Amino acid sequence: MRLHGKRALVTGGSDGIGLAIAEAFLREGADVLIVGRDAGKLATARDALASEAKGGAAVETLSADLATGAGIDATVARVKASGQLLDILVNNAGVAYLVSFETVSEAQFQHSFALNVTAAFFLTQRLLPHFGAGASIINISSYFANKMIPNRPSSLYSLSKG
């Protein structure tokens, strides 16, 4: 249990890569707070993760939309209210609009950058006072940040993840 006594926050932790990361942290003994938008998916994730917790590790959830200032505020407030310092932040939350370049709407563009770029930047910035010594920040990018698959429209996603 290499992470026993450590506290981790994983954004976008209710499914996919984020859920797998949270699961691995719990198996290694870390307490984990997962943040996502969908309360139902978070409850399902929490129930699934509870069986992975080792050595008294705990899993908590927070429903918050990190593409908004209110969601970032709620996440920071939750960390602050815990009274515990963070050892690990995983900025994993993201959105992919896989639409052709010429059809990307302004709303899709703004939402992509709000979640894929702005949220990671300002959440990290706002959490700085709540990191313990030697804390780690992990920003999840994508294969699509450097490569595109022919005939798969990912220009907006690639731009925001790069």
Per-residue pLDDT tens over the stretch 35-85: 999 999 999 999 999 887 777 889 999 999 999 999 999 999 999 999 999
Is 97 a residue of the active site? Answer: no
Which pLDDT tens digit goes with each residue over 107-158? 999 999 999 999 999 999 999 999 999 999 999 987 767 777 777 788 888 8
For the entire predicted model, the pTM comes to 0.93
User: Tell me: domain 7-161, CATH 3.40.50.720, correct?
Assistant: yes
Catalytic residue from among 97, 131, 144, 157: 157
Q: What does the domain layout of the chain look like in residue ranges?
A: 7-161
Which one, of 99, 82, 89, lies nearest residue 128 by Cα?
89
Judge contact between 34 and 47, C-beta under 8 A.
no
